Structure 1
Amino acid sequence: MSLEKENVKSGEIIDTEVLKKLYRFVQPYKAQFYFLVFLTIALAILAPTRPYFIQVAIDDYVAVGDGPGLVKIIYLLVFLLVLQAIVQFAHTYLSGWIGQVIIKDIRIKLYKHLLKMRLKFFDNTPIGRLVTRNISDIETLADVFSEGLAAIIGDLLQLVTILGVMFYIDWRLTLVSLCTLPLLIISTYIFKEKIKVAFNDVRNAVSNLNSFLQEHITGMNIVQIFNREGREFEKFKEINKDHRKAHIKSVLYYSIYFPVAEIIQAIGIGLVVWYGATGVFDTDIQVGVLISFIMYLQLFFRPIRMIADRYNTLQLGVVSSSRIFKLLESKEQIPNEGDYSPAKIKGNINVENVWFAYNNEEWVLKNINFDVKHGETVALVGATGAGKSSIINLISRFYEINKGAIKIDGTDIREFELDTLRKHIGVVLQDVFLFSDTIYYNITLGNPNISRKQVMEAAELVGAKKFIERLPAGLDYNVMERGATLSVGQRQLISFVRAMVYNPEIIILDEATSSVDTETEELIQGAIEKMMKGRTSIVIAHRLSTIQKANKIIVLHQGEIKEVGTHDSLLEKEGYYAQLHQMQLKTMAIG
């Protein structure tokens, strides 16, 4: 398993291009966003009002014994306190709401994008990493709105407002108050740099943990078959240890920074009390001014302490956004530029001079040429890795041809609208994948146009009706994840029903009976013949006995066509096909 490592360089400025792309998702909610900006400004203005009116209450009313005036100030303070609480509630709720609706939109857009990606992309990308992109990275974006950008802007506005009021009241006390500010700025910068690295380590650790768990839970049967539980457990412990270390490191930086910031703040307050008390004794500074400055300092230092943390939250959100937008902007989608969308096709297939490679020019198929006429059955035969599955993947455009062309009824498959092309081709794969849902859903895949009656008719055709009816809930029976509650043969039968219920003009069977026992194979062999009747069929089979009636057998070897003919004519040639046939007969005799 390749471990993911994506770091942000120290001191890197936040990518404004990413923020612009992120802002596009804000556009549908502009009214709410601008109201959030208004609330942010309102909070910045409201923050310094309480200390100011407390100062006025002490110096202008308490000091002169003006009780009625003091009551009025208290009413005003209570009103401001309630108003600030309401504004703070609205700000917190709205920032969280905007964050959630935006990540909902981004997650939908990302998943829709993934649905259209070519299979080559999934071959080269760990599933755990894609899960991280869709879950963890997108969740981080919510913090950009609730604790990142809006909060940082609010903190900066609050700092400017408080500083302005402090200078207005007493510039000397303000300068004394700011003596410790350089220490706080330096410690905040160091904390910002350290926690940024720690957060990146945490995100890498989470991604690696996701990838490891996904791969090994999916492949648990292999782990157990080869007695690798102990070794894989040790690997998991190592990855989990890295995850723990990354988190503990971030906790360590927090546990150091906040006490240091508190000490610096306390020193600042101490200097203000010392200088202010001297002024009070000399009647140069009023008591209310001194008390208000202590409150201002607490309000002033708090945003500075929080900015470092929020800056890293914002930066990590931008990093996550960058990863997500990189995925959204990837060109790994199959081009769907065709507009040919016939309601019906005949099913004539022409494969012309096709070359194909999964990686660069490591050719899997080399100059492949063959035709399949409407209603014909063509079988592809060859050893593992000969290129059989690659051909059927190209016909359905799961991968793109490097050279040459594949035509259906004389039209290049790249000219077909992609959904239309695949609608006309029914594929039954060797490895049957079933979703954790009912049999009915796994057959129709949620298509509302397919009735339960159609499903049962298709099931009867392929011999699956009896076993479906015997299940506790029939079509509504939940097969659990990957069809775990069904046998291999039952899962294969469901895949036959799934292909038949869409009534395609072209049928492709990729080792369709290789995973079933002989009895089940005999059961569905007749159904396969009915399935193929009147349809163009391409069959891949290791068991040569299942393709003896094919109109044409194409023998592949190392990506090239070695022989073409019927079963009998190829045996008469005594070539590669005859050797394969002879080897299978020997294997069956030994078995």
Structure 2
Amino acid sequence: MAFWGGGTAGGWSHSHYPTGRSAGSALKRSGDGWDDDELGKLYDHSVMVRLLPYLKPYRGRVALAIVGMLAFAAASMTQPFLIGLAIDKFLQTGDLAGLNVIGGALIGLALLAWAGQWLQQMSTAYIGHNVLLTLRTRMFDHIQKLSLGFLDRNEVGRVMSRVQNDVTVLQELLTTGLLTILADFAGLGLVIFFLLYLDVQMALITFVVVPLLIVAMAFWQSRARRAFIRARQAIAIVNANLQENVSGVRVVQSLSREEENIRRFDQVNADNWSANVQAGRLTATVMPLVELLVATATALVVIFGGLRVLDGSLGIGVVIAFALYVQRFF
């Protein structure tokens, strides 16, 4: 048993604390006491069911956030359609009155998108902070009831990591995360609708890159999950080391263990750096991949759409609308 706070990260007893090469292997085995099986699946429906009751007291705000999200999606996804309509129907015919109507509609849609986004963000901010307050309060109450044996087996720094970092992640998942997913699906559905409505053949050409994106994301996700889990475990170990060294600094100094504890902290800090760099590298591969697919889809739209414009079977406004929708599709 350590002399302070439970655990052994830099205290008098250090038989369980990973150092040197063993620190890295401990991370691979789950340095914060969780292995991959315990961390669970990428998506666990039972966990979501347990978390959703935290949103029940704010049903009204959730409804407002959904309304704002739908308004923003509808307004922003309708704009390319109107731009294409203005080019093909009014600009090429010199119909100034029609252009004024479309211009006014675009301004109205921009205002609607702004109002929808404002309503969504204000509602999610209110919900998010209240959910965070509830989660942390309940977590703190639960910690007060834990046994001394639990606190001895688990470093206080890692418990603090759960209360601070993981609770914040749960709050973001329940508020911003869920609504973002809904907004993405709503926007994606509207984009697909407009693409098919404008021209089925061009829509199918645009969808050619989608299977490539699905395969690439599935390949990336299988590696990213393990990297992000390792990063979470690494920061938990750093938090444990920091907390217990600071709270036990008197014992450390009385035993002249400063150099040893500095060496240990350097090791866990280096492991944390390595884990986050690896996660960052994987993250850095996503956006360039998406941009490449956007460029590919845009090129297909320009080439095939341009050929159809030349033979008179498609309006240039439709091609421009498709190019704009490609930016939103991904």
TM-score of the two chains, using structure 2 as the length reference: 0.86
Match in the other structure for 2:194: 165
Match of 1:4 among 9, 13, 32: 32
Match in the other structure for 2:28: none
Structure number with higher helix proportion: 2
Query: Higher RCO, 1 or 2 (CA under 8 Å, sep at least 6)?
Result: 2
Match of 1:71 among 78, 96, 100: 100
Structure 1 pair 148/7, CA: closer, same or farther in 2 (3 Å)?
farther
Match in the other structure for 1:88: 117
2:203 is equivalent to residue 174 of structure 1? yes
Match of 1:289 among 318, 321, 324: 318
Match in the other structure for 1:255: 284
Between the aligned partners of 2:57 and 2:33, the Cα distance in structure 1 is 34
Tell whether the 8 Å contact from 1:11 to 1:193 is kept in structure 2 after alignment.
no
Match in the other structure for 1:218: 247
Match in the other structure for 1:312: none
Tell whether the 8 Å contact from 2:84 to 2:318 is kept in structure 1 after alignment.
yes
2:146 is equivalent to residue 117 of structure 1? yes
Tell whether the 8 Å contact from 1:128 to 1:211 is kept in structure 2 after alignment.
yes
- 1:103-502 matches, cutoff 5 A: 103-301=132-330
Match of 1:49 among 52, 56, 78: 78
Number of residue pairs aligned between Structure 1 and Structure 2? 301
Percent same amino acid at aligned positions? 27
Structure 1 pair 288/11, CA: closer, same or farther in 2 (3 Å)?
farther
Tell whether the 8 Å contact from 2:52 to 2:174 is kept in structure 1 after alignment.
no
Between the aligned partners of 2:94 and 2:36, the Cα distance in structure 1 is 60
TM-score of the two chains, using structure 1 as the length reference: 0.49
Tell whether the 8 Å contact from 1:96 to 1:145 is kept in structure 2 after alignment.
no
Tell whether the 8 Å contact from 2:245 to 2:252 is kept in structure 1 after alignment.
yes
Deviations 1:198-246 (A, max 9, x none): 2211111111111111111122222222322122111101100111111
- 1:17 Cα deviation from its structure 2 partner: 1.6
Tell whether the 8 Å contact from 2:198 to 2:318 is kept in structure 1 after alignment.
yes
Deviations 1:141-192 (A, max 9, x none): 2221444221112111211121011111100000111111111112222222
- 1:112 Cα deviation from its structure 2 partner: 1.7
Between the aligned partners of 1:63 and 1:297, the Cα distance in structure 2 is 24
> 3-state SS of the aligned residue for 2:146?
coil
Between the aligned partners of 1:213 and 1:128, the Cα distance in structure 2 is 7
Between the aligned partners of 1:203 and 1:278, the Cα distance in structure 2 is 51
Deviations 1:62-101 (A, max 9, x none): 0100012101110110110111012112212322321221
Gaps of 5+ in 2: 1-7, 9-16, 18-30
Gaps of 5+ in 1: 302-591
Tell whether the 8 Å contact from 1:99 to 1:141 is kept in structure 2 after alignment.
no
- Segments ≥4 residues shifted beyond 6 Å: none
> 3-state SS of the aligned residue for 1:26?
helix
Tell whether the 8 Å contact from 1:59 to 1:287 is kept in structure 2 after alignment.
yes
Between the aligned partners of 2:176 and 2:283, the Cα distance in structure 1 is 17
Structure number with higher strand proportion: 1
Deviations 1:429-448 (A, max 9, x none): xxxxxxxxxxxxxxxxxxxx
Which protein is bigger by CA-based radius of gyration? Answer: 1
- 1:13 Cα deviation from its structure 2 partner: 4.8
Between the aligned partners of 1:201 and 1:166, the Cα distance in structure 2 is 41
Between the aligned partners of 1:117 and 1:6, the Cα distance in structure 2 is 18
CA RMSD of aligned residues (A): 1.8
> 3-state SS of the aligned residue for 2:102?
helix
Between the aligned partners of 1:243 and 1:214, the Cα distance in structure 2 is 16
